[in-house]
Amino acid sequence: GQAEVEVKVEELDGRATAQVQVALRIDILEDEWVFVPVLPPATPVTSVTVDGKPVQLIHAREGLGWGVKQSGSYTMQLRYRVDATRSGSGFVLSLPLPEAAATQLAASLPGAGLDVALIPAAGVELTAIPQGTRVTATVPATRGAQLSWRAPTKERHSVSRASYQGELRGDAIHWTALLDVEIRTDQEVSLELLPRHVTLGDVEVDGRKASILVSGRSFATLLRGRGPHRVKLRFQVPIRRGSGPPTVALPIPEVPVSSFELRLPGRKEISVAPAATVAHRVEGEATLASFHVPMTREVTLRWSEAIPAELVTATRAHASVFHAVRAEEGVLYVDALVLFEVSRGEVRRVELDLPAGVQVDRIESEDGGISDWRVAAAEGDEPRRVTVFLDHPLTGTLRLRVHYDRSLLALAAAEPFGVPLLRVREVQRQRGMVALLATEDVTLRPAEEARLTRVGENQLPAFFREGLEGTVAHTFKYVEAAPRLAVVTATPERVLAKFDAEVNTLVSLTDVTIRGAASVNVHVKSGKLSELTLALPADVNLLALTAPSLRTHQVRSEGGRQWVAIEFTQDLEGHFRIEVAYERITTDGEDQVSVPTLRVEGAEVEQGRIAVEALAAVEVQEASAAQLSSLDPSELPQQLVLKTTNPILLAYKYVHVEPPPLLGLRVTRHPEVEVQLAAIDRADYRTLFTRDGLAVTASRFWVRNSRKQFLRVRLPRGARVWSATVDGRPEKPATAVAEEGEEQSAAPEILIKVINSESGFPVEVVYATPAPKLGRVGRLYAHLPRPDLVVTQSHWDVYLPDAFRYGRPRTNMDSTVQAVPVSQARLEAEMARLEHTAGAPATRPIRIQVPHAGVHFAFEKVYANQSEDDAWFSLPYTSPLGAGLAQLLVLIGTALFWFGLAAGFRHELQVSRRDGLALAMLGLAVGTLPIAYLGTDATAALALSALALLGGLVFVAHQLLQRRGPAQPELPTP
């Protein structure tokens, strides 16, 4: 039916990508399986729906299609993306399309005023849209279209469309071309037409003969007048013959839309380069080909005679047959792989000639598609025939597995017999191969060969050789003619296996054991191995042994050594590896140990390497070495180095020698130093004090743990745990019991079960501590809990009621924030910040209720729990009434101080100097007590003191002036 295609092009970083949506109507006429071709192969489809339900497309030679069985009308929705390629100043987009009867295409392109071309298409319309250009057109039945666009050119003229009509005359093609040219200036424009080597007939502009110029290497003509013009050309292009099909190289101007029509006598098949879809139409005794090409400067045309219809429908096929032949207990088994390939037409069945005396066991296909098979009796001299029926028409390749056998009981033991081989009927070309297999009991030897060629085993294709059971003894190849191969059965000679061994051993020293991990690499040079014997020292324990095709292994002690006998389920050849793990227990105080090594019995060449590592706090030195050569650890094989992450301390190599190599090590054991098994990277505390005498603390520890079971936390005196979580999951803590001989502390200690995680996890504890009720005047005191792990960074936020005034805190921590009023919103923001501290995961801690307003203090300290004293702070506070009383005490104390000083030095006040100074000291104590303890503001005291000091200075100045008085006149001496 009809398809509607919507194309949206997005341009980013100089690249353009199109998102294509297709709505396609499909009518199914019969109730049987139908394959509906939808899109060309390799189309990047992102989604397919039919009537709103997702479906799966099928990949076939015809492309991507949809399989449906029920008749009816369906609506298919397709989505896929296509990338555009840049061409000059624009882009070219090749759109795969469903081959519908008609396609309505709409495309949205970025940019305004674009030069757009769509091939093939009719009724192309361009419409300006916001930030782009919309293209609508009708596309004929085709499997692809080409959309090209570029920015508007600044040239004085442009050629938008060109049409060419050609006809074969003699040894040349006569062309008539029409060019649509638009002139954008009032000046005269020179238009280049064709290269000079083209035989030019005539040039017309708007129906009138025009002048022809030679511009460089091209013909040109002059155009005058702004607006559209039509240029008509007549020229000839010669045909090149002699190398394949007739070829025409047609030079053309580079035009966005170029359409061609070529008439050739007879029935021809025409191909075009650049690739384009060519529509052929037969008119009488001639073929009319029409096509469009993208923007190019040259078009190459080739044609050949069309294939007659009777030959198109003929079937052409060829086959390859691969035989695997083996003999077992009087029966000859043949497994044949038939590779049947149809190169033209289609087939619904495959027929094979079956040799006499064989019975077909089964026929199967790796690709499926077999509905049934039948064996027909022989007719006359014709051999028996087996027919394989297919459940679908075959147009490609099919693999058939035919399993058949023949009895050998009636044949003499040494009498040659023919190998039954399959032949495929009705194929143009046939070839095959025969592989004679040798089993453990019987082998097949060629006795007679005709029309066969001996080849190597490597000539067998991989897909056939991988499925063979047994060893390939002989391989033959034949072509076309029916071969003749006779064989005799024989008992294979058992060859004593010859092999080399390489033993790479990693020796690991622990506190009480010496562990060995040996890799035995065996290389069988000839014959096959069904068993193998390893030798170990008598004082080691075999822990594990792994090997390919391992049946069993047994350990026996004999001659002061342990012998490990290994049996395999099948004979092994080539390369294989055995892994052995063993250990020897060392005694306490043993400072010199002998390293146990493994030997391979029966190896012609044995070599090995020994690497020594220490898994405990031991110092290793060489004590003795015999038949060993020192080796740099960098020369060890990678397979041995990768077995450990510890450094290799000593390395040696050896070859097969007698007596075997010996290695003694001197081991010095050092006491281990205890290290932290867990740590707290950061601890965050939030404490809220209420006026009623309650302090609620939410603690959050970011813990990294390797093997510790509990986190022990000593809480402040009288604390009660409200909740605890570990890694976001609730956990019920336990109370720690004092060990024997220790007194139970008044401060509670809790145990919280933690998990093992080296990346870190949060542990949260919320507890309440009794505190004195906030009165008019007082001092708050609190200290942090004490975890038993090292705390790297501690942060403590304290929130206090804002109805009180607070002095400067005393603390053994670093004070970072002092007396900052915080609103409810500020508190929530601060808590959100704390929740994401130290990269904690998004698990919400238990929230505590906070007032709408408060005063915030913050303290920090590094390794706060590693000092002898707990982290603490002390903070004085006063209520508004208490603050007023404190100010009054400050003023009274200041007044008493100055009065006492004045009274002690003025006799008029009738106070002794001692009493005056005592009164001054009392005033000083009364005035400084609220300032020192409660942090009361001393501004009033300073102002009063300044006034008293100023008054005292005025008084002293006045006294000095009075003492001086007016000068007395000097009396004469009588």
Task: Give pLDDT tens digits for 132-147.
Answer: 899 999 998 888 898 9
Asked if 168 and 238 touch (Cβ cutoff 8 Å), the reply is: no
Asked if 567 and 530 touch (Cβ cutoff 8 Å), the reply is: yes
pLDDT of residue 658: 77
pLDDT of residue 497: 84
As a whole number of angstroms, the longest Cα–Cα distance in the chain is 196
Mean pLDDT across 919-924: 69
Does pLDDT of 838 surpass 70?
no
pLDDT of residue 772: 83
Amino acid 198 reads V
Q: What is the pTM of this model?
A: 0.38
pLDDT of residue 197: 87
Indicate the range of 370-384, 722-736, 772-786, 911-925 predicted with least confidence.
911-925
pLDDT of residue 887: 65
Give the containing element (helix H, strand E) for 967.
Answer: none
What is the three-class DSSP state of 346? Answer: coil
| 541: CB partners within 8 A, 6+ apart | 582, 583, 584, 585
Maximum average pLDDT range among 288-302, 653-667, 917-931: 288-302
Does pLDDT of 799 surpass 70?
yes
Higher pLDDT, 442 or 22: 22
Amino acid 595 reads V
Q: Between vectors from CA 131 to CA 125 and to CA 135, what angle results, nearest 5°?
A: 15
What is the three-class DSSP state of 858? Answer: strand
Higher pLDDT, 970 or 194: 194
Mean pLDDT across 1-26: 90
Among 406, 407, 389, residue whose Cα is nearest residue 398:
389
Mean pLDDT across 882-901: 68
Cα distances from 612 to residues 373, 378, 506, 585, 640, in angstroms, run: 66, 76, 6, 16, 11
Higher pLDDT, 907 or 240: 240
Does pLDDT of 832 surpass 60?
no
Calculate the average pLDDT of the chain.
Answer: 84
pLDDT of residue 746: 63
Torsion of CA 151, 156, 162, 166, to 10 degrees: -140
Query: Which DSSP string do the residues of 95-144 spell out, in sequence order?
Result: EE----SEEEEEEEEESSS-EEEEES-EEEEEEEETTEEEEEEEE-S-SE
Does pLDDT of 531 surpass 70?
yes
Pull the structure tokens for residue 576: 């294989």
pLDDT of residue 319: 92
Q: How confident is the model at residue 835 (pLDDT cuts 50, 70, 90)?
A: very low
Exposed / middle / buried, residue 241 (Cβ in 10 Å: 0-12, 13-18, 19+): exposed
Residues 402-446: tens digit of each pLDDT: 999 988 876 655 678 889 999 998 888 899 999 998 887 788 889
pLDDT of residue 77: 93
Cα distances from 204 to residues 157, 166, 200, 750, in angstroms, run: 17, 17, 12, 105
Residues 232-246: tens digit of each pLDDT: 999 999 998 876 788
pLDDT of residue 926: 66
pLDDT of residue 320: 92
pLDDT of residue 948: 64
Mean pLDDT across 541-562: 91
Based on its alpha-carbon atoms, the radius of gyration of the chain, rounded to whole angstroms, reads 52
Indicate the range of 83-87, 420-424, 682-686, 801-805 predicted with least confidence.
801-805
What is the three-class DSSP state of 901? Answer: helix
Does pLDDT of 840 surpass 50?
no
Q: How confident is the model at residue 907 (pLDDT cuts 50, 70, 90)?
A: low
Residues 247-290: tens digit of each pLDDT: 999 999 888 889 999 999 888 888 899 888 888 888 888 899 99
pLDDT of residue 105: 93
Omega of the bond leading into 974 within 30 degrees of 0 (cis): no
Does pLDDT of 941 surpass 70?
no
Exposed / middle / buried, residue 305 (Cβ in 10 Å: 0-12, 13-18, 19+): exposed
Mean pLDDT across 766-784: 86
pLDDT of residue 566: 94
Residues 36-88: tens digit of each pLDDT: 999 988 888 999 999 999 998 888 878 899 999 889 999 999 999 999 988 76
Which residue reads 């809790």 in tokens? 750
Count Cβ atoms below 10 Å from residue 123 Cβ, excluding itself.
9
Among 59, 66, 15, residue whose Cα is nearest residue 41:
59
pLDDT of residue 842: 38
Does pLDDT of 970 surpass 70?
no
Among 532, 624, 652, residue whose Cα is nearest residue 580:
532
pLDDT of residue 544: 93
